[in-house]
C-alpha cells in the first residue's frame, strides 16, 4: 500500500480507501474480518455516509470497531451528509443532526472527516459555515470536504466556510473517465471533449484538494463492474494482458491505472470481497509505465486527437 499526505499535508492516508456502502448485510464475523484484514493490508481510510444502507452500514462498522477497539486510533473515518429522501439539504439544522446520527450509529464521539454529499441546489454558504464552525468547535468533526462538487461550487462555499475543504469525492473509473478525457480534447467538437466537471482535475491539483474517485470499478451510474462486461471487451483484454505483465489481478490493474495519475487521487474501493481487497492493496504498490497507462486509456475507447 502507498500512502499520501492530506489535510494540509499533516496526515498520512492509504492511497486507496475502502468504501463501506455495501457492508450493511455483513454478519458480525464478516465485518470483523473485513475490518481487520483491511488494516492488515495497509488501508487506514474508510468512507461512509449517513444514508448507506439506510444507516445500517455505519451501524455494522461501528459494532465491528467496538469489538476491535484497538483499531480506532489506526484508522480515519469519513462520513457524508446532505442527501435526504426527495431532496438535498445543506441547512445548518440538517448537517448537525446528520452528524449526530452518524456518531450514534458509529458509536464514536467524533469523525475524522465530513463531506457534503451532493450539491444542495438551495445551499447558503453562511449556513454551512455555521454548521462547520460548531462541529469543529465541539470536536465532533476534524476535517471537512465535499463530494460531487464543481470548482465554482467549492469557491462559493469558501466565501463563508473557514475550514479547509480537503477532499472532493467524484465518480471516476477507467469506464467513466470523462474527467480525464476532456483534458486531452479541449475545445474539440467530439464526445471526449465534453467537459462535465469544469476541469476539476486541474482545479483540485492547483488547490491541493484530494480527489477521491468513487465507484472506481463500475461503469455507468453504478451499473455493475466493467470487468467481464462485453461492452468493454477491448478494455478488459488490455487490462488482462497488462495485469499478467505486472503480476497483479485485473481489479488491481484498474486501480493501478488511477494511481498512476500524477494528481495523487485516493480511489474509494467498494468491494466486500476479501481477496479483491487484498489484491487491490498489492496493486497499489505497482507503478505502471506511461506507455501502459495510455494503452489502457485508448482501449477504453477514449481519443487522443
Ligand atoms: N460520493 C458519492 O456520491 C458516492 C457514490 C457511490 C459510491 N460512493 C463511495 O464509493 C465507494 C465505492 O463504490 P462502489 O462500491 O460502487 O465501487 P466499486 O469498487 O467500483 O464497486 C464495487 C462493487 O463492484 C463489484 N466488483 C468489483 N470488481 C468486480 C469483478 N471483477 N467482478 C464482479 N464484481 C466486481 C464488487 O463486488 P465484491 O464486493 O464481490 O467485490 C462490489 O459490489 C462506496 O462504498 C462509497 O463509499 C460515493
Pocket test for ligand 1, best of 52, 271, 275 (most atoms within 8 A of CB): 271
**Per-residue cell: 261:** 495519475
**Domain final residue, candidates 166, 190, 219:** 166
Among 135, 134, 20, smallest CA distance to 75 is for 20
Instruction: Based on the residue annotation, tell me whether 199 is a catalytic residue of this protein.
Output: no
Asked if residue 269 has its Cβ within 6 Å of ligand 1, the reply is yes
Placement of cell 454529499 in the chain: 117
| Backbone phi and psi for residue 79, each to the nearest 5 degrees, phi listed first | -135, 175
Q: Is residue 101 part of a domain?
A: yes
Q: Is residue 30 part of a domain?
A: yes
Interatomic CA distance for residues 20 and 79, integer angstroms? 10
What rounded mean pLDDT belongs to the chain?
A: 96
Asked whether the predicted pLDDT for residue 108 surpasses 90, the reply is yes
Residue-wise pLDDT tens digits, 138-186: 999 999 999 999 999 999 999 999 999 999 999 999 999 999 999 999 9
Question: What's the domain count of the chain?
Answer: 2
70 and 146 together in one domain: yes
101 and 87 together in one domain: yes
Residue-wise pLDDT tens digits, 236-253: 999 999 999 999 999 999
Asked if residue 276 has its Cβ within 6 Å of ligand 1, the reply is yes
Q: Is residue 248 part of a domain?
A: yes
| Nearest residue (CA) to ligand 1, atom 36 | 271
Interatomic CA distance for residues 68 and 10, integer angstroms? 26
Taking the whole predicted model, whether its pTM rises above 0.95 is answered as yes
Ligand 1 centroid–CA 255 distance in Å is 12
**Axis-axis angle for helices 125-137, 92-106 (nearest 10):** 40
Ligand 1 centroid–CA 233 distance in Å is 20
Asked if residue 272 has its Cβ within 6 Å of ligand 1, the reply is yes
Among 107, 112, 104, smallest CA distance to 66 is for 107
Do 9 and 166 meet the contact criterion of CB atoms below 8 Å apart?
no
Among 241, 250, 245, smallest CA distance to 279 is for 250
Residue-wise pLDDT tens digits, 207-232: 999 999 999 999 999 999 999 899 99
132 and 240 together in one domain: no
152 and 182 together in one domain: no
Categorize the per-residue pLDDT at 64 as very low, low, confident or very high, splitting at 50, 70 and 90: very high
Pocket test for ligand 1, best of 16, 17, 18, 19 (most atoms within 8 A of CB): 19
Asked if residue 273 has its Cβ within 6 Å of ligand 1, the reply is yes
111 and 176 together in one domain: no
Q: Is residue 182 part of a domain?
A: yes
Amino acid at each position: 500500500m502507498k500512502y499520501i499526505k492530506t489535510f494540509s499535508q499533516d496526515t498520512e492516508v492509504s492511497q486507496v480507501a475502502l468504501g463501506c456502502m455495501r457492508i450493511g448485510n455483513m454478519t458480525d464475523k464478516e465485518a470483523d474480518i473485513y475490518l481487520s484484514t483491511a488494516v492488515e493490508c495497509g488501508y487506514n481510510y474508510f468512507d461512509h455516509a449517513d444514508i448507506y444502507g439506510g444507516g445500517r452500514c455505519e451501524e455494522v462498522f461501528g459494532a465491528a470497531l467496538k469489538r476491535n477497539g484497538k483499531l480506532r486510533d489506526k484508522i480515519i473515518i469519513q462520513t457524508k451528509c446532505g442527501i435526504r429522501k426527495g431532496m438535498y439539504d445543506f441547512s445548518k439544522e440538517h448537517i448537525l443532526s446528520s452528524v449526530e446520527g452518524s456518531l450514534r450509529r458509529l458509536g464514536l464521539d467524533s469523525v475524522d472527516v465530513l463531506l457534503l454529499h451532493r450539491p444542495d441546489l438551495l445551499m447558503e454558504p453562511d449556513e454551512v459555515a455555521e454548521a462547520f464552525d460548531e462541529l469543529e468547535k465541539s470536536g465532533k468533526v476534524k476535517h471537512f470536504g465535499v463530494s460531487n462538487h464543481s470548482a465554482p461550487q467549492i469557491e462559493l462555499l469558501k466565501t463563508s466556510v473557514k475550514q479547509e475543504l480537503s477532499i472532493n469525492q467524484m465518480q471516476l473509473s477507467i469506464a467513466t473517465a470523462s474527467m480525464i478525457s476532456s483534458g486531452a480534447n479541449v475545445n474539440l467538437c467530439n464526445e471526449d471533449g465534453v467537459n462535465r466537471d469544469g476541469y476539476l482535475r486541474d482545479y483540485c491539483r492547483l488547490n491541493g484538494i484530494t480527489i477521491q474517485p468513487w465507484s472506481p470499478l463500475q461503469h455507468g451510474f453504478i451499473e455493475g463492474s466493467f470487468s467481464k462486461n462485453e461492452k468493454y471487451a477491448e478494455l478488459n483484454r488490455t487490462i488482462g494482458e497488462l495485469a499478467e505483465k505486472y503480476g497483479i489481478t485485473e481489479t488491481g490493474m484498474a486501480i493501478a491505472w488511477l494511481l498512476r495519475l500524477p494528481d495523487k487521487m485516493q480511489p474509494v474501493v467498494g468491494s466486500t470481497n476479501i481477496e479483491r481487497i487484498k489484491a487491490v492493496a498489492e496493486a497499489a504498490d505497482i507503478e505502471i509505465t506511461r506507455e501502459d497507462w495510455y494503452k489502457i486509456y485508448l482501449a477504453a475507447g477514449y481519443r487522443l486527437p
